[in-house]
Amino acid sequence: MPEPLRSYVAGEWRAGTATLEDVNPARPSEVVAEVQAADAALAEEAITAARAAFPAWRDTPAPARGEILRRAADLLEARAEDVGRDLAREEGKTLAEAIGETRRAVAILRYYAGQTLEPDGETYPSASRSTFLYARREPVGVVLAITPWNFPIAIPAWKLAPALAYGNCVVWKPAELVPLTAVHFTRAFADAGLPAGVLGVVLGRSGDVGATLLAGPVEAVTFTGSNEVGRRLQLEAIARGAKVQLELGGKNPAVVLADADLDLAAEQVARGAFLSAGQKCTATSRVIVERAVLEPLAERLVEHARGWRLGDPLDPRTVVGPLASPAQLERVAGYLDGARRDGGTALAGGGPAAIDGGYYMQPTVLAGLGPESAVVREEVFGPVAALLPADSYADAVDAANDTPFGLSAAVFTRDLGRALRFAKDVRAGVVKVNQESAGLELHVPFGGTKASSSGSREQGKAAREFFTEWKTVYVD
Ligand code: NAD
């Protein structure tokens, strides 16, 4: 067992008052790490340290900030296999996915290191002959970042890297289920020479430290997680005058039109629905299929669901690992019970799988459900795809849009006109044509419409909008 994990405050690793266990969801008897969890006082200290560090970090030349990010990227890259292994052990995604995610974090750090060399403002013609008029982007101040467990290094990377690159200080509260990955990520910054206080990392129960962090003097809150928690935090943050960005849930449709390549569609839908055990905000959960191809598509999808190997994330043969926690298993099993009560049938899967006492759920394909069933309306966050027939293109688009969410959507067709029309008609922040609904590139805007997001987009150059504000200067 490694040393107990500690928070990182004012450039030091600091013990807290409570001890928490970080367990392996594939084998819950295995404790991956112990956490000396922070209390409210330590959370407050992290904010105080960030405020103290802000003026010097803001005034550090942007390219010098970029150099530190680049060094952190190099260190993380050298450690990617170890970090990925620990990520897989505490979160449950497969080793290949976990190492891939770590490398994604490396790439994100490098991208924002590069952004520190980009122009940071604009000049304008002035109405006055004697005035030089310009506007530049400045950091907002201290940012509170609150992140979920399902992408324990990529999501923190796409919040922390731009926040730091643009000159903000950050206090980060990672999810309780993934403290070891958080410590690995933090170490990369610490070892890269990030000045003390610029990044504070508070490991602890959200109930103990979350309220303190939110009540603290921060200028901005960037949150990714559930709608329930996000909306609550949004109200509190706004009441305190902080700027807020929320990335929340999804109920992402894949529309399969009658002219689609069905082998491709089934394979991509399966990837979107079952990889990472469906625990992605962009996972496919509603498969809306034109009636003419419903049966052949269902057959192919069922074949994938039954054929994908479930097992230990560290076993290279494993395609789908366990869910991340007992609460997740209970939640997904509850939706499947509800589906049965609503008259649905599981064409594949349909319940947990008994492997080493882990929190495994079988990849599941549901049929025979109406649009009002909870499993069709609400975010399940598990490897569950519900098949829904459509009578026409228009019917399929209506079904795709019949949700409070609007994160990602996929369409499968050989007709380019239809594909482009779908891209216009569907209300989602991300649209994929002949590709799974999950899977993002790092240099383009990411976020959703309707209940899926609030505030400006993340990733790529779009991140600048949230982490900076304009200053307009008139020089006479
Ligand atoms: P969650 O809302 O339970 O927790 C998210 C974070 O908020 C965690 O760090 C948690 O500790 C913290 N938190 C909880 N209560 C808090 C409080 N009162 N004060 C301060 N912090 C608090 O979500 P989760 O279970 O970790 O993640 C799953 C959810 O995240 C899903 O709904 C999923 O769709 C969503 N998600 C969205 C995106 C996106 O980009 N849209 C990406 C990944 C995950």
Distance from C-alpha of 22 to C-alpha of 152, rounded to nearest angstrom: 14
* pLDDT value for 17: 86
Report whether residue 248 contacts ligand 1, using a CB cutoff of 6 Å: yes
- What DSSP designation does 439 have? -
**CB crowding 65-83: b at 16 or more within 10 Å, else e:** bbbbbbbbbbbbbebbeeb
Q: Tell me the per-residue pLDDT of 375-401, one tens digit each, with 9 for 90 and over.
A: 999 999 999 999 999 999 999 999 999
Of 227, 252, 247, nearest to 400 by C-alpha is 252
In ligand 1, which atom is closest to the CA atom of 228? 2
In ligand 1, which atom is closest to the CA atom of 458? 40
* pLDDT value for 206: 86
Distance from C-alpha of 155 to C-alpha of 145, rounded to nearest angstrom: 10
Strand order in the sheet with 220-224: 12-14, 7-9, 199-201, 169-173, 142-146, 220-224, 243-247, 453-454
Going by DSSP bridges, is the β-strand pair 18-24/27-37 parallel, antiparallel, or unpaired? antiparallel
Token digits of residue 424:
């216009």
Average pLDDT of the residues in 397-413: 98
In ligand 1, which atom is closest to the CA atom of 148? 26
Distance from C-alpha of 215 to C-alpha of 411, rounded to nearest angstrom: 43
Active site residues: 247, 281
- Check if the beta carbon of residue 32 is closer than 8 Å to that of residue 3: no
Residue 54 confidence (pLDDT) above 80: yes
Token digits of residue 134:
């310009």
Q: Tell me the per-residue pLDDT of 206-259, one tens digit each, with 9 for 90 and over.
A: 888 999 999 999 999 999 999 999 999 999 999 999 999 999 999 999 999 999
Q: Measured in angstroms, how far is the CA atom of residue 227 from the centroid of ligand 1?
A: 8
CA geometry: angle at 150 spanning 412 and 211, to 5°?
130
Average pLDDT of the residues in 438-460: 98
Average pLDDT of the residues in 52-79: 98
| Sign, CA torsion 272/275/279/281 | negative
Alpha helices in 292-451 (DSSP H): 294-307, 326-341, 374-377, 393-401, 416-425
Report whether residue 405 contacts ligand 1, using a CB cutoff of 6 Å: no
Element (H, E) at 364: strand 364-367
Of 212, 207, 199, nearest to 156 by C-alpha is 199
Residue 108 confidence (pLDDT) above 70: yes
Q: Tell me the per-residue pLDDT of 125-153, one tens digit each, with 9 for 90 and over.
A: 999 999 999 999 999 999 999 999 999 99
CB-facing half-sphere around the CA of 223: CA atoms within 13 A: 29
- Check if the beta carbon of residue 328 is closer than 8 Å to that of residue 381: yes
Give φ, ψ of 469 to 5 degrees. -135, 155
Q: Measured in angstroms, how far is the CA atom of residue 229 from the centroid of ligand 1?
A: 7
Report whether residue 459 contacts ligand 1, using a CB cutoff of 6 Å: no
The chain-wide mean pLDDT, for the chain, equals: 97
1 pLDDT band (50/70/90 cuts)? Answer: low
Of 233, 132, 129, nearest to 473 by C-alpha is 132
What is the value of pTM for the model shown? 0.98
Q: Tell me the per-residue pLDDT of 278-293, one tens digit each, with 9 for 90 and over.
A: 999 999 999 999 999 9
* pLDDT value for 307: 97
| Sign, CA torsion 407/413/414/419 | negative
Residue with CA closest to ligand 1 atom 8: 175
Report whether residue 226 contacts ligand 1, using a CB cutoff of 6 Å: yes
Report whether residue 24 contacts ligand 1, using a CB cutoff of 6 Å: no
Residue with CA closest to ligand 1 atom 42: 281
Report whether residue 206 contacts ligand 1, using a CB cutoff of 6 Å: yes
Average pLDDT of the residues in 13-20: 92
Report whether residue 378 contacts ligand 1, using a CB cutoff of 6 Å: no
Q: For a pLDDT cut of 90, what percent of the chain falls above it?
A: 98
Residues 6+ apart with CB under 8 A from 232: none
Distance from C-alpha of 25 to C-alpha of 357, rounded to nearest angstrom: 9
Residue with CA closest to ligand 1 atom 32: 226
Dihedral, CA of residue 113, residue 469, residue 148 and residue 377, to nearest 10: -130
Q: Tell me the per-residue pLDDT of 69-91, one tens digit each, with 9 for 90 and over.
A: 999 999 999 999 999 999 999 99
CB-facing half-sphere around the CA of 361: CA atoms within 13 A: 35
Distance from C-alpha of 86 to C-alpha of 99, rounded to nearest angstrom: 10
The residue length of the chain stands at 476
- The residue to mutate among 20, 206, 227, 328, having the most atoms of ligand 1 within 8 angstroms of its beta carbon, is 206
Average pLDDT of the residues in 262-272: 98
